[in-house]
């Protein structure tokens, strides 16, 4: 894969990962979902949170590979 393709893939993964993080926040701010009790830690156990985390890490990893390819390394 060339660097431009990796850049586009990493941008897409990053956008989807951000959406996974932002969706529960949007739901709470719009009043469609109730907030968890303080200290419950439920948001960290959410599959959506973990999906966002994994997609964001993958996007960062691909971006680093693309940057190395563009630098000739």
The pTM score is 0.76
Query: Furthest-apart CA pair in the chain: how many Å?
Result: 51
**pLDDT for 20-70, tens place per residue?**
988 888 888 898 877 777 777 666 667 888 899 999 999 999 999 989 988
The dihedral formed by the CA atoms of 21, 24, 26 and 30, expressed in degrees to the nearest 10: -170
């Amino acid at each position: 894969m060339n660097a431009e393709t990796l850049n586009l893939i990493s941008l897409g993964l990053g956008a989807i990962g951000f959406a996974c993080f932002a969706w529960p926040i949007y739901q709470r701010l719009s009043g469609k979902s109730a907030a968890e009790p303080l200290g419950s830690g439920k948001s960290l156990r959410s599959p959506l949170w973990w999906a966002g985390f994994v997609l964001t890490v993958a996007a960062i990893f691909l971006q680093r590979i693309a940057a190395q390819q563009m630098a000739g390394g």
